[in-house]
Amino acid sequence: MGRLVVISNRVAVPKARGAAGAQGGLAGALNSALKKHKGLWFGWSGQESEAETGESTGNINMQRADGVTTATIDLSARDVDEYYNGYANSTLWPLFHYRLDLTEYERETGKGYERVNERFAECVQPLIEEEDLVWVHDYHLLPLGERLRARGLKNRIGFFLHIPWPPTRLFVSLPFHERLVRTMLDYDLVGFQNNEWLESFLHYCRKELGAQVDEDTGVVSFEGRTVRAKAYPIGIDWDHFQAQGKTETAHKAAERLTDSIRNRAAMIGVDRLDYSKGLPERIDGIGRFFDQHPERVRDLVYIQVAPPSREDVESYQHIREVLEQKTGQINGARSEVDLVPIRYVNRGYEHAELYGFFNAAKIGLVTPLRDGMNLVAKEYVAAQDPEDPGVLILSRFAGAAQQLSCDEKGAVMVNPHSPDDLSHAILAALDMPLAERKSRYEAMITTIREDNVQAWTAEFCSDLAGE
């Protein structure tokens, strides 16, 4: 094969807005693969240009470091509003997370989405060489493969969706849903996080398009095109994360948390401030626990780390207000002069600090209403002391649930919509004996260590190359 060309909404390059947060496992794995193949990473810079709807293909910022070339373009304020805040995050994101009540259908944002995908194709196509493998990422760029094919690109092109794919009965509520899926069939390989979403995609292709679908191989044949669809559960960067745990920063973070909780058990949740994460429902479950077990209020402190995201989207502003209100109500009812049961932190932390917090927390709470993979669940387990591990409470609707349920021997599985279910799980985790905690940890740790993000990258690239 030639080079690997990665195309995504954002690129992890120095000084790009928000890029620091992208330098975790996925960015590290992609950078590693790009270094191996002297590759190219193309996407939006995160900056806004002064042009009304973008600029010519000549306005590409190229950088090269450690054998990897990054190429970024600016988008206009209109492009950002229609493509990113609009269609991608106000239409596709809520729909793909089963939130029809929050999904907005606006013709103009759909046009903006198509326009920016066309601009991506226009800008990146001249940079792609004949033998390159092209790997497109996530819901922002679903139709990009078709746009590249229309420009004559014959390369092998793969696509990976980092979020859920909804059931057909939900997806057909999207205007022009058939046209969108037809564009995806111009890829050679389409990847999903787990088998549930793979099966939903294949069901749509068979039922709505009338395509021929081989359920065993995931091969979809339609109007002369053949595409393979497959599940590729993404993992964490195990070696990098373990290295973070050996730093002074991680040790100090663990000590800081341990010293502050005054012999209480710490329970932690780390999530972007997003309605898909089930944060209000989670707080309701914690409130139910304190209502049902008021004598345990001095035994447990919950730390919710929730850095803000997409603050320009109204539904995200609302979720922050609701979360602050619910947290304040519980703290107002249960606090003492020397005790606050819930600590709500509206900021982010670097990886080493999170390792330390996870290591010091007896319970990890990961309860999305619907989520792509939720690597925080795997990071929490990876940070535990094998001789005295904490307990992971995990939503059955997280992508990680298929790997970490482990025949009821791994994570404690919950329905995040049920406050009683959450309350029961918290009590079970709080009182769980060491032997059971160790057996649950051991059931999860092998897949977390071995099915890491490097293995995920290698398997997808190998399949895309047809090796």
Say which of 74, 371, 421, 451 is annotated catalytic.
371
Position 35 confidence tier, pLDDT thresholds 50, 70, 90: confident
Both 244 and 202 in one domain: the answer is: no
Both 226 and 242 in one domain: the answer is: no
End-to-end CA distance of the chain, in Å? 10
Query: In what order do the strands lie in the sheet containing 342-345?
Result: 342-345, 300-305, 265-270, 363-366, 391-395, 412-414
Q: Is the per-residue pLDDT at 55 higher than 60? A: no
Joined together, the tokens standing for residue 234 give 């993404």
Residue 394: CA atoms inside 13 Å, Cβ hemisphere, count? 32
In whole angstroms, what is the distance from residue 85 CA to residue 78 CA? 10
Say which of 37, 162, 203, 424 is annotated catalytic.
162
pLDDT digits (tens, 9 = 90+) for 395-430: 999 999 999 997 778 999 999 999 999 999 999 999
* Residues sharing a CB contact under 8 Å with residue 216, sequence separation 6 or more, in sequence order: none
Q: Is the per-residue pLDDT at 56 higher than 60? A: no
Both 261 and 273 in one domain: the answer is: yes
Residue 371 annotated to the active site: yes
Crossing angle of helices 248-261 and 238-245, rounded to 10°: 60
* Residues sharing a CB contact under 8 Å with residue 340, sequence separation 6 or more, in sequence order: 301, 331
pLDDT digits (tens, 9 = 90+) for 159-190: 999 999 999 999 999 999 999 999 999 999 99
| DSSP label at residue 100 | G
Task: Note whether 161 and 186 are within 8 A (CB).
Answer: no
Query: Nearest CA to 415 among 398, 400, 439?
Result: 398
Both 224 and 295 in one domain: the answer is: no
Both 294 and 423 in one domain: the answer is: yes
Give CA separation, 75 vs 5, 35, 82, 441, in Å.
Answer: 21, 27, 11, 45
Please report, rounded to a whole number, the percentage of residues in the chain having pLDDT higher than 90.
Answer: 82
One DSSP character per residue, 16-36 reads -TTGGGGTTHHHHHHHHHHHH
Both 61 and 21 in one domain: the answer is: yes
pLDDT digits (tens, 9 = 90+) for 57-112: 458 999 998 889 999 999 999 999 999 999 999 999 999 999 999 999 999 999 99
Q: What is the mean pLDDT of the chain?
A: 92
Q: Please give the tally of structural domains in the chain.
A: 2
For residue 16, the model assigns a pLDDT of 40
Host domain of residue 174: 4-235+453-465
Q: Which of 13-17, 117-121, 193-197, 299-303 has the least mean pLDDT?
A: 13-17
Give CA separation, 338 vs 4, 255, 283, 287, in Å.
Answer: 56, 19, 21, 19
Query: Nearest CA to 139 among 105, 183, 102?
Result: 183
Query: Nearest CA to 265 among 386, 394, 391?
Result: 391
Residue 424 annotated to the active site: no
Q: Is the per-residue pLDDT at 338 higher than 90? A: no
Identity of the residue numbered 346: N
Both 373 and 275 in one domain: the answer is: yes
Query: In what order do the strands lie in the sheet containing 219-222?
Result: 61-65, 68-76, 40-49, 4-10, 133-137, 157-160, 189-192, 225-231, 219-222, 212-214
Joined together, the tokens standing for residue 98 give 């089963």
Both 210 and 251 in one domain: the answer is: no
pLDDT digits (tens, 9 = 90+) for 310-321: 666 677 778 888
Both 21 and 50 in one domain: the answer is: yes
Q: Is the per-residue pLDDT at 24 higher than 70? A: no
In whole angstroms, what is the distance from residue 286 CA to residue 146 CA? 47
Average pLDDT value for residue range 12-33? 58
Residue 404 is part of a domain; what is its CATH number?
3.40.50.2000
For residue 316, the model assigns a pLDDT of 75
Identity of the residue numbered 248: E
| DSSP label at residue 139 | G
Sign of dihedral through CA atoms 426, 196, 275, 13?
positive
Both 300 and 172 in one domain: the answer is: no
| Greatest pairwise CA separation for the chain in angstroms | 71
Both 362 and 375 in one domain: the answer is: yes
Average pLDDT value for residue range 193-221? 97
Both 153 and 277 in one domain: the answer is: no
Joined together, the tokens standing for residue 176 give 């022009």
pLDDT digits (tens, 9 = 90+) for 355-383: 999 999 999 999 999 998 899 999 999 99
Please report, rounded to a whole number, the percentage of residues in the chain having pLDDT higher than 70.
Answer: 94
